[in-house]
Amino acid sequence: MKGVIVKKLIALLGAMIISMPAFAADNACMSQAAEKKLSGAAQTSFIRKCVVDGCEATSIEKKLAGAAKNSFTTKCVADGLQPYCEEQAKGKKLSGAAKTSFMNKCQAGN
């Protein structure tokens, strides 16, 4: 029982460490968009491109390829866009299924 809990904690810690570059990239991207005084579609486009570029650079640093790179990049982009998407959903006063649908689409990076 203790071994299972320890394994889950280690897996959680590993996931958090892997996600950190995404959160750092997102904060930097949002700051850069604010400095450039971007809003609307220009802000959205800039932040998404910035997060995607950051995740791709991180996957190269980690020397990932193939399915591992695709999986990492997809999760990294979703994690990186989460704070931005949350802010957008809050601004639109979304909740429940509407918020879930919006978040899924927003975090897909499309």
| Torsion (CA) 47, 110, 82, 43 in degrees, nearest 10 | 30
Q: What angle do CA 84, 82, 52 make, to 5 degrees?
A: 85
- Residue 28 has a pLDDT of 85
Q: Residue 98 pLDDT more than 60?
A: yes
Token pair in block for residue 99: 């918020």
Q: Residue 85 pLDDT more than 70?
A: yes
Q: How far apart are CA 90 and CA 84, in angstroms?
A: 10
pLDDT average, residue stretch 79-87 = 91
Confidence at 18, pLDDT banded by 50, 70, 90: very low
Q: How far apart are CA 89 and CA 100, in angstroms?
A: 9
Instruction: Tell me the pLDDT of the chain averaged across its residues.
Output: 82
